[in-house]
């Protein structure tokens, strides 16, 4: 029986050429799997037909936008996931979803190998291969670009030789990856980290410096999940899409950063994530209102570790699963509304309300109606500072005894 390879297929030059290259080099049949996570661009049916025209024996197209939003973006939102305190894990979140469908296709179509088009410099090779190893340790992995010297020049030559139905002449100066959670741009002139981004690299956001009227929006959450925009019920996907449009029109969510890749190098990345940044900003503020102090303090540590695990390709790891349970519990009371003004590249919180709020006006006010018993504070301060005071007296004694 002929062996089958399941290929993560984008429809571009490299993965289209990989179909014929894998078949030629290994003798295996190729099943192409294209997963729609809201990347836009070409019609997925056109991509499917291209995969078949390039020699795939089967071509699977999956509309996974809702799945991506609910099962991957929402957990990231609950974790306020920002790698290095800035990057909302745009690409990192989509990879385990794609892995899930690659493994599913391998089971359904008799695949014994999974192939991807990642290079040896990036994080995605880790995310794909570690994820596949966690879900299906019996599957072998092919990485032709990384392991076989499969360069772009060779890909173009192969496509021309085989007469493949793809455009081999146009080449963007940038490497772009995008989905509904955001858009990542790298390479080209951006590799010189002194060069400022130019306006034509952006697609999800408008120039924040251009004059325009502010946009006020109210986001409703239930247990950390966005469920309404300006009072209109929405799904998680719709919430992201609506805020991508509205926050993007105000230039919200642009990031230009040098980040630490898992493989040990630093990389300059430009991101656009208007919906993600707006939602995370709103969610963090609602947590400030509804989450108890010690739980909130510890959760900030958990959030950071969660983001690092996902960035590092460990979505299916035991630690990530355990942290998920904690984060879910911590979001139990994150229910309420956040009002924001979107303007000039910023999403600014201007109001919050929640039946689960821990904010007590009568305890917080300095005006009449103050219910805080200030007479208790003197003893509290003395006891709170007692360990430091005792230690200071000891240190003074030893310094005196030593003649210092």
Where is the binding site for ATP, in residues?
8-16, 117
Kindly name the residue from 36, 124, 177, 303 that is annotated as catalytic.
Answer: 124
Kindly name the residue from 66, 86, 146, 175 that is annotated as catalytic.
Answer: 175
Binding-site positions for L-aspartate: 119, 123-124
312 has catalytic annotation: no
267 has catalytic annotation: no
- CB hemisphere CA count around 326 (13 angstroms): 17
Kindly name the residue from 95, 100, 254, 346 that is annotated as catalytic.
Answer: 95
Nearest CA to 187 out of 144, 150, 147, 152 is that of: 152
14 has catalytic annotation: yes
> Using an 8 Å Cβ cutoff, are 327 and 306 in contact?
yes
- CB hemisphere CA count around 102 (13 angstroms): 31
Q: What are 324's two structure tokens?
A: 């998920």
Q: What are 337's two structure tokens?
A: 């509304």
Alpha helix stretches (DSSP H) within 60-175? 65-68, 74-78, 90-109, 124-135, 144-147, 152-162
The separation between the first and the last C-alpha atoms of the chain, rounded to the nearest angstrom, is: 85
Binding-site positions: 8-16, 87, 117, 119, 123-124, 127, 175, 259, 271
Backbone angles phi and psi of 101, in degrees to 5: -80, -30
Q: CA-CA distance, 113 to 135, in Å (whole number)?
A: 13
Would you please indicate which residues are annotated as catalytic (active-site) residues?
Answer: 14, 95, 124, 175
């Amino acid at each position: 029986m002929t062996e089958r390879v399941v290929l993560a297929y984008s429809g571009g030059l490299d993965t289209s050429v990989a179909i014929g290259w894998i078949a030629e080099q290994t003798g295996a049949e190729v099943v192409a799997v294209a997963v729609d996570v809201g990347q836009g661009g070409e019609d997925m049916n056109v991509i499917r037909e291209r995969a078949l025209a390039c020699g795939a024996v089967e071509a699977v197209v999956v509309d996974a936008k809702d799945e991506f939003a609910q099962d991957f973006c929402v957990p990231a939102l609950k974790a306020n996931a920002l790698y290095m305190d800035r990057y909302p894990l745009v690409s990192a979140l989509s990879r385990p979803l794609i892995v899930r469908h690659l493994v599913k296709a391998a089971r359904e179509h008799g695949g014994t190998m999974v192939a991807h088009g990642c290079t040896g410099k990036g994080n995605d090779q880790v995310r794909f291969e570690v994820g596949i190893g966690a879900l299906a340790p019996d599957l072998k992995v092919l990485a032709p670009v990384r392991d076989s010297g499969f360069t772009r020049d060779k890909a173009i030559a192969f496509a021309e030789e085989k007469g493949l139905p793809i455009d081999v002449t146009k080449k963007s100066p940038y490497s772009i990856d995008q989905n509904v959670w955001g858009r990542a741009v790298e390479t080209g002139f951006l590799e010189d980290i002194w060069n400022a981004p130019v306006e034509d690299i952006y697609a999800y956001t408008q120039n924040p410096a251009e004059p325009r009227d502010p946009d006020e929006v109210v986001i409703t959450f239930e247990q950390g999940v966005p469920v309404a925009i300006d009072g209109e019920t929405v799904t998680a996907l719709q919430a992201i899409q609506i805020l991508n449009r509205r926050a993007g029109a105000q230039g919200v969510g642009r990031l230009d950063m040098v980040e630490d890749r898992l493989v040990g190098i630093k990389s300059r990345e430009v991101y656009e994530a208007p919906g993600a940044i707006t939602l995370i900003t709103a969610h963090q503020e609602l947590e400030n209102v509804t989450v108890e102090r010690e739980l909130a303090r510890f959760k900030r540590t958990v959030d950071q570790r969660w983001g690092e695990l996902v960035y590092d390709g460990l979505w299916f790891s035991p630690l990530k699963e355990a942290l998920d349970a904690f984060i879910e519990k911590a979001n139990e009371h994150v229910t309420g509304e956040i009002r924001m003004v979107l303007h000039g590249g910023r999403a600014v919180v201007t109001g919050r309300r929640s039946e689960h709020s821990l904010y007590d006006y009568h305890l917080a006010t300095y005006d009449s109606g103050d219910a805080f018993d200030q007479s208790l504070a003197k003893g509290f301060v003395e006891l709170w500072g007692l360990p430091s005071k005792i230690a200071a007296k000891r240190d003074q004694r030893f310094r005196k005894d030593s003649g210092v």
